[in-house]
Structure 1
Amino acid sequence: MAEVPLKIDERVEQLVRDTLHWAVKRQPVEFDEALKAFSDGSTRQSALELLAAIAALVSADICQGRPTPEQVRQLAEEVAEAEAWSSATSPEVEVFLKSVVTGRPLSDVLPAGSAVVLAFVVTASLLSLRPKSEGEWWFNYLDNLEAAIEAAG
């Protein structure tokens, strides 16, 4: 996960939540439309940092600790299969996950355009995949994650 503290920008947070909603629901038209909100570099960067932090926490939660390379590979396969509606492939998801769990900047391993799409698709999938208590929704879990991210910052 990121070494620098992350202060969540409320405007970006709402845009991220809105876009995650369409990714979780697997609605490609609405998802593509929501992605347009991330056309400027600053908004895109803030969103990527938040999504990477969330994906790292959910991955660690699913794997009960920092994921091993094998767990990352398995998660990548599971996500790519679950998100067949998107263009995300297992190797791309694996690169994204390796990057977020090791804290390596996404810009070092993925082009900006594909990083944004992957970040949303993978994070939405992980939020959906994680076992939840009865009556708990992905967005309730997301509230807890964001609170933990801000507390750590």
Structure 2
Amino acid sequence: MAISRTRTRQPAKAQASRAADEVRDVDYRALAQFRYELRKFVAFSESAARKERLTPQQHQALLSIKGFSKDKPVSVGELAKLLLIRHHTAVELVDRMSRLGLIVRLADPDDRRRSLVRLTAEGERRLRKLSKIHFEELSAVGDALTEMLQHFRRSGSLC
């Protein structure tokens, strides 16, 4: 007895959904290239921080304090969240950076149990120097990163 193989036609919506779920080779290449460019930028950033006699984490802390503080001190707990580290690790980082004269620790006037941190003039100076060369590097690679993001948008990978 022969088995009949009839194809049932899927609705257009199901076909479009399946097509959106497929990842093409060109998408893998674009994603690999994007991650490569990001890693190159991170390596550049880490090297630039070390040349300025900072650890990459200290540079990121300076940038987070300045970038997310709106000119107000940031709590050690907030800094830990911004850096994706544990609170006790942030406390140690703040202690080291304070000894280097990059930040100053303040008591929170609303809650004396909380410590707040803000940049010192030296911390501002070093962050400004690092940020300037980071902007230059981003300017050099910006077109390539923009092109990659546009590829993801065109391919439907980014909504």
TM-score by length of 2: 0.28
From the two aligned structures, give the one with the greater helix fraction: 1
Which gives a bigger RCO, structure 1 or 2 (Cα 8 Å, sep 6+)?
1
Whose radius of gyration is greater, 1 or 2? Answer: 2
